Amino acid sequence: MFKWLVSQEEVPGIDFQVDNQKIYRYRAETYNHFKINEMHMNRCMNTFVFEVLVVDKTEEGYVFDWTLKEKEMYKGMEYLGENIIVLEKLASIKDHLSLLVNGEGQIIKVLNKEELQTKWNILKENLYENPEDWPIEEAYKNKFLADGDHEHSSSFPIEDVLNQDPVFSTFFFQNTKNKTKSQEDALIRMEQPSNLLMTESTEKIKIPLIQNTSWQTNIDDNEYIDFLISRNADKARLNKKQMNKLLRNFPFAEQEIQVYIYDYEAVYKINGQNYMISEAKYNLLEKVNHDLEVNHTCTIRAIN
């Protein structure tokens, strides 16, 4: 897979080397950290072991079977108490996914939505039959069920949610688009959702970015290739008027953009023989003035 990174062809997109019915196993770790005025509001660490099976190639893209084998979630969020039980139950619905991925690494369709809906309905039945296993206050139960029905309906854009997930977006090289024939840089303009600034309806605004990609032989082992990605805010295209308006959601923060930082760096270590990911790491820092800051990291490693 991912031979497109060092392809000599001038055709954008991913050229997956499909190896039918072969399972690839990975371990992923994610860490999220949110600060307001130097106060640490949220820290969360998750660990996953997942297996990916390359199933098929279609006219639209490639079909992957994604199965979560082990997980340890919400470490650092113990203050949520028994609510973590509910979050873990909901997360288990997506332990198995059948994904159609296009040539730019975007998940364009979840093929087993009916399976997810069935799992949600089973959880709902369990909530009614065994309410003691669900530490949900009665006042919030109706909203919880309504939200769950919506999020597991056939019309819900689950693909958009997965495409913003750090593990899926990292594994499938999302938004890299341009190939590089040599160590020359490939520059593109793109947009990504902000992790800080959103509307009252919690819709994230899009931040204009400039992406730089390049590759080089790994300095420690020439059998591996390092693929490098960096993304930075395109300050000339920032909509500061809109951003200032959204700062009203943070009354304790400075109400005008003075400093805005969006720095993303990722390094993929690729096996030069089969072009599979050996390791992928990324770090994202988004900061508004000296008041608001979020940091995301994700590491994926191939394991036996």
Cβ–Cβ < 8 Å for 208, 191: yes
**pLDDT > 90? residue 62:** no
Q: How far apart are CA 44 and CA 215, in angstroms?
A: 31
Among the residue ranges 32-41, 102-111, 112-121, the one predicted with the least confidence is 32-41
Residues in the chain: 304
Residue percentage of the chain with pLDDT more than 70: 88
**pLDDT > 50? residue 199:** yes
CATH code of 156's domain: 2.30.230
Q: Between the ranges 8-12, 267-271, 294-298, where is the mean pLDDT highest? A: 294-298
Cβ neighbours of 225 (radius 10 Å): 20
Among the residue ranges 38-42, 66-70, 77-81, 251-255, the one predicted with the least confidence is 38-42
pLDDT in tens, 134-162: 888 877 788 888 889 999 998 999 999 99
**What pLDDT is stored for residue 299 in this prediction?**
97
At 184, the pLDDT band (50, 70, 90 cuts) reads: low
- Say how many domains are in the chain: 1
pTM of the model: 0.84
Q: Work out whether the CA dihedral 232, 235, 240, 244 comes out positive or negative.
A: positive
Range of the domain at 216: 3-302
What is the chain written as a DSSP string?
--GGGG-SS---S------TT-EEEEEEEEEEEEEETTEEEEEEEEEEEEEEEEEEE-SS-EEEEEEEEEEEEEET-GGGTTHHHHHHHHHGGGSEEEEEE-TTS-EEEETTHHHHHHHHHHHHHHHHH-GGGS---HHHHHHHHHHHHHHTSTTS-HHHHHHTSHHHHHHTTTT-----SSSS-EEEEEEEEEEEEE-TT-PEEEEEEEEEEEEEE-SS-TTEEEEEEEEEE-GGG--HHHHHHHGGG-TTS-SS-S-EEEEEEEEEEEETTT--EEEEEEEEEEEETTTEEEEEEEEEEE--
pLDDT in tens, 14-48: 445 545 567 889 999 999 999 888 777 788 999 99
Cβ neighbours of 151 (radius 10 Å): 15
**What pLDDT is stored for residue 70 in this prediction?**
95
Q: How far apart are CA 53 and CA 62, in angstroms?
A: 11
Q: How far apart are CA 161 and CA 110, in angstroms?
A: 11
Residue percentage of the chain with pLDDT more than 90: 39
pLDDT in tens, 217-265: 899 999 998 888 899 999 999 999 999 888 888 877 788 888 999 999 9
Distance from the first to the final alpha carbon of the chain: 17
